[in-house]
Amino acid sequence: MAKKILHVVGARPNFMKIAPVMRAIADRTGSLEQMLVHTGQHYDASMSDVFFEELDIPEAGVNLGVGSGSHAQQTAQVMIRFEPVLQQYAPDWVMVPGDVNSTLACALVASKLGFRVAHLEAGLRSFDRSMPEEINRLLTDQLADLLLTPSSDADENLRREGIADCKIRMVGNVMIDTLVRLQPKARVRTAALRSQHSLEGPYVLATLHRPANVDNPRGLQEILGTLNELATTLAVVFPVHPRTRQQIAALSFTPRPGLRLTNPLGYLDFLALEMGAQLVVTDSGGVQEETTFLGVPCLTVRPNTERPVTITMGTNELVTSAQILEAARRKIDPSSAHPARIPPLWDGHASERIASLLEEGMR
């Protein structure tokens, strides 16, 4: 009898993680079957639908339609709506990726009902409990029966927290699986995107969405001012998260001609711009990983990162909003470049290793 895998996605970052795993499992016909549950945590078409299309993710068997709300409201609604779906499908494994509210909510329900939980991207730590994602990561890892890690530092974090070695498997980075597969499709979009955004020469790509950066008017004003200053020498493309756009409107901010504020981009368009950028300014965990693999200089506007391997091996550097301009000028100076390395098992085959673990009956 085929083992049943129930995947959970809720927010944009998780779509890139679950897509290659579902594809690898689909190739194991007869031994594994699967169903996808979309919690609806990201429900805007620009943040959800386009990713299903571009990543070729199968249509969700169930959409819980949770929508927005406070952390407590969102987590509670996911738990309430997920429980009957879980009981009806009765999977052998519940696969929860990442660190969003849906991740923890579904892991908690599954664990209490006695279903085995596999945490995809386990063991990452920022050591900053003021981040809601850190709480989600810590608790999900304590509940999980199988911890699928992207790098050796994640393994070390889990062992330090008392997780048994028999539960930990370093499989590599599934985000890179998606990047490797879709890189050729993204590359052919480059010329059209350059034309669309009037990018005749080198440019900077910026993406910011974390509350610490965009929900604080003074901090956001400082970041926008820095990007405006940077745009006097290099074009800056800034795809704006819907929540961030509301904050910018409240500031009555006027961008210089070199700063292009765009609507959110689909995965392929963003990857195409990322591949060609002189520099990326971000607060996204996934973008830190992608730029490391691509060898593109990256500035992360955060005091910490749960992906330190992107600093020790990759192109990433942590900065404050006040440090962006000086660090950007240094990063784009060819004389300051240093060779970046790709972490072990970031090879485009992590999802295949995961499917093998599930097929072989990991205990």
Catalytic residues: 209
- Half-sphere exposure at residue 95, Cβ-oriented, CA atoms within 13 angstroms: 29
Residues in contact with 215: Cβ distance below 8 Å, sequence separation at least 6, in sequence order: 243, 247
- β pairing state of 168-170 and 316-319: unpaired
**At CA 312, angle to CA 307 and CA 317, rounded to 5?**
70
Strands (E), the chain: 3-9, 32-38, 62-63, 93-97, 116-120, 146-149, 168-170, 203-207, 235-239, 259-262, 279-282, 298-301, 316-319
Q: Is 221 exposed, middle or buried (0-12, 13-18, 19+ CB in 10 A)?
A: middle
DSSP secondary structure string for all residues of 69-116 = --HHHHHHHHHHHHHHHHHHH--SEEEEESSSHHHHHHHHHHHHTT-E
Within 13 A of 262's CA, how many CA atoms are on the CB side?
Answer: 21
Do the beta carbons of residue 147 and residue 163 sit within 8 Å? yes
Give the DSSP letter string of 126-183: -S-TTSHHHHHHHHHHHH-SEEEESSHHHHHHHHHTT--GGGEEE---HHHHHHHHHH
**Straight-line distance from the first to the last Cα atom of the chain, in angstroms, rounded to the nearest whole number:** 17
CA–CA distance, 139 with 215 (Å, rounded to integer): 26
